[in-house]
Amino acid sequence: MVDFGEMHGLTAVFIVLELMMFSVQLHFYLIWPYDKRRLAYLVLLVLLIGYNVTGGFFPDPDIRWLSIPLQNIIAYGSGFLMSAYFPYYFYISFDLKSLRLHALYGTSTFLLLPYFLFFVILYPISGNLEFAVNYGLIIPALYSPVLLYAMFAAIQLRFSRNSEDTNPYTRVEMLAVYGAVSPWVFMSLFAYLQVPQWVEALFTNTGFVIIAVLFLYQSGKYERNEKKRQIERDAMDEKQKADFNQTCKDSGLSTREAEVALMLCQGREYKSIALILHISARTVDTHAHRIYYKLDVKNKIELQQKLGFAG
């Protein structure tokens, strides 16, 4: 494997792949910015890219515009932040309600707080990185298996709480989520043991690869289901429109009067109907009076009821 300066080539490959994935997912998010799952995934990608970049470059004495202590603080901070966000991502994306306590409070208390105390406050004062690592990672390392168990239990509960007929997840997906969770929960342990950077990158990014495949698979399944529902809605709309036109015909309305009646039922004003049909508002008013007369109704609500309009 070829090294790129201080960054291992394997890490560089992961960064390139993650940037490509980010650009694609950002495109889809901008098309529909109401997808919370996709937004959570984009945040995950940003944190992961930041983790890989800082872990690959820092600390580097040749980077003179950042001191070595600050580089270490940023590098360790990206790892802690990634570890803290990971349970929250699964809490949001998979609706793991039983993980709420850990996702919102546990990671802040047992991951971010020790980092802030030992790396942000004590390390700059003492200048002793070994002290910060040896003592600042004790609580996160002990918390890791607790968090791992909580995430596994939450996933198991989420996947098994519905019957097989209604459960939207398969057993393969559940095992995939297990595989994606495991590497990231032990990031603090990796930092404590000070494993080589390329080993840490390989192990943790394997979890990302599983997440990416799982996210794409679920997105495809969601889009297929949405497309199916849209086709069913369109078919229902066509049937309702055909029934509406037939009712208008049976009631003695002309084709133009049926068009005006439909727009009246939809709540449109005379000026709006005139613009759509390229006729004057006076003509629309004439059509409306004829429609009300033929159907013996007094207002739009009675018109809707008479024609069986379902908005």
**Confidence check: pLDDT of 33 > 70:** yes
Average pLDDT over residues 140-166: 75
Among candidates 251, 252, 269, which has minimal Cα distance to 260? 269
In the beta sheet, which residues pair with residue 7?
4
| Residue 1: predicted pLDDT | 31
Closest CA to 48 of 9, 22, 10, 87: 22
CA–CA distance, 118 with 127 (Å, rounded to integer): 11
Condensed to tens digits (0 to 9), the pLDDT of residues 158-186 reads 777 554 444 455 666 666 666 666 666 66
In this structure, of 87-101, 193-207, 296-310, the range with the lowest mean pLDDT score is: 193-207
Could you tell me if 295 and 308 are in contact, meaning their C-beta atoms sit under 8 angstroms apart?
no
Q: What is the mean pLDDT of residues 246-274?
A: 87
Q: Is the bond preceding residue 124 a cis peptide, omega within 30 degrees?
A: no
pLDDT of residue 174: 64
How many C-beta neighbours within 10 Å does residue 149 have?
11
When mean pLDDT is compared across 118-122, 151-155, 189-193, the lowest value belongs to: 189-193
Mean pLDDT score, 207-220 = 73
pLDDT at site 197: 63
Of all residues in the chain, the percent with pLDDT exceeding 90 is: 18
Q: Is residue 242 over pLDDT 90? A: no
Distance CA 228, CA 309 (A): 24
Taking only the tens place, the pLDDT of each residue in 81-118 is 988 888 888 888 777 888 899 999 999 999 999 999 99
Q: What is each CA distance from 293 to 111, 262, 287, 303, in whole angstroms?
A: 74, 16, 10, 11
Task: Please provide the DSSP assignment of 98-110 as one string.
Answer: GGHHIIIIIHIII
Q: What is the pLDDT of residues 261-280, one digit of tens each?
A: 888 888 888 888 888 888 88
Token pair for 16: 């390139």
- Percent share of the chain, pLDDT over 70: 81
* Residues 6 or more apart whose Cβ sits within 8 Å of residue 18: 45, 48, 49, 52, 208
What are the beta bridge partners of residue 4? 7
| Confidence at residue 227, expressed as pLDDT on a 0 to 100 scale | 77
pLDDT band at residue 233 using 50, 70 and 90 as cut-offs: low
Is pLDDT above 60 for 7? no
Among 128, 151, 142, CA closest to 189: 142
Rounded Cα gap, residues 155 and 174, in angstroms? 7
- pLDDT at residue 163, as a whole number: 44
Residue 63 has pLDDT above 50, yes or no: yes
Q: Which one is predicted more confidently, 7 or 228? A: 228
pLDDT of the residue at 4: 40
For residue 207, give both structure tokens.
Answer: 């979890």
Q: How confident is the model at residue 3 (pLDDT cuts 50, 70, 90)?
A: very low
To 10 degrees, what angle do helices 68-93 and 171-185 make?
160
At 88, is the secondary structure helix, strand, or coil?
A: helix
What is the reported pLDDT for 236? 59
CA distance 175 to 165: 19
Distance in angstroms (rounded) separating the CA atoms of residues 186 and 78: 14
16 vs 3 pLDDT, higher one: 16
pLDDT of residue 167: 47
Sign of the torsion angle spanned by Cα atoms 114, 115, 118, 122: negative
pLDDT-based confidence at residue 230 (cuts at 50, 70, 90): confident
Q: pTM for the whole thing?
A: 0.63
More confident position, 120 or 91: 120
Residue type, 191: A
What pLDDT does 55 receive?
A: 79
- The pLDDT of residue 166 is 42
Residue range 251-307, CATH number:
1.10.10.10
